[in-house]
Structure 1
Amino acid sequence: MSTVTMNISLTDELKAFVDARVKARGYSSTSEYMRELVRRDEERAAEERFVALIQEGIDSGPSSRTWEEHRAELNARIAAARAAESHPR
């Protein structure tokens, strides 16, 4: 995965905080610390999306279809996707 450079502006107080966290947590660089913060935020965003999807499912009420019907549809979709992958146009 390629990386790009990104510059940020911090107050002296925030810079001191970041430097202290890098040292205290054993990061090899400020960049490593910042990447970890972004990864954690990315994970939180994914969790928020997951919770929203669960809530959407709850709010939609019970399904009129059985589990077996859902499973059969999903299996058919998977089979179609695999067939499309093995026979590209």
Structure 2
Amino acid sequence: MMAIARAGQRIEGCGNFCHIGRRRNQPMATMNVSLPDPMRDFVQNRIDSGQYASASDYVRDLIRRDQSETEDEQRWLRELDASIELGLEDEKAGRLYDLGEVCAEIRAEIEGMAGEQPLQ
């Protein structure tokens, strides 16, 4: 059974609240999307199960998720750039360590704590 409701209305069997429709004063545009039959059937099954009110609701949710993932990726790239910049600043200031020496020190510390034979 497919439930149809107006924006902001509660739908029985849909939990505490369903986000349906649009935000106030937000203009809506219309788009036509062509899908192969298996994809159309998948979307219709999501609607019939009550997870979405309409195909438009489903597509809006996918777009919101994609927007969020894109924002997360952009934030991660900005943080990576900042980390690289910090590393370059450390290099210019002479705050670098030889990886081999650091690993040797860590191995020696672990071996000392464990009282075992040298790690190989």
Instruction: Pick the TM interval, shorter chain.
Output: 0.5 to 0.7
1:34 equivalent in alignment to 2:59: yes
TM-score, scaled relative to structure 2? 0.49
Q: After the TM superposition, which parts of structure 1 deviate over 3 Å for at least 4 consecutive aligned residues?
A: none
Give the root-mean-square deviation of aligned CA atoms. Answer: 1.7
Q: Which residue of 2 aligns with 1:46?
A: 71
Distance across 2 between alignment mates of 1:20 and 1:5: 22
Distance across 2 between alignment mates of 1:54 and 1:23: 42
Q: CA deviation at 1:30?
A: 0.8
Higher RCO (CA < 8 A, seq sep 6+)? 2
TM-score, scaled relative to structure 1? 0.65
Counterparts of 1:9-88 in structure 2, within 5 Å, are 9-61=34-86
Q: CA deviation at 1:28?
A: 1.2
Unaligned runs of 5+ in 2: 1-25, 91-120
Structure showing greater radius of gyration is: 2
User: Between Structure 1 and Structure 2, which shows a larger proportion of helix residues?
Assistant: 1
Distance across 2 between alignment mates of 1:43 and 1:25: 23
Specify the code of the residue in structure 2 equivalent to 1:5.
T
Specify the code of the residue in structure 2 equivalent to 1:17.
F
Distance across 2 between alignment mates of 1:18 and 1:53: 35
Distance across 1 between alignment mates of 2:34 and 2:63: 16
Distance across 2 between alignment mates of 1:2 and 1:36: 17
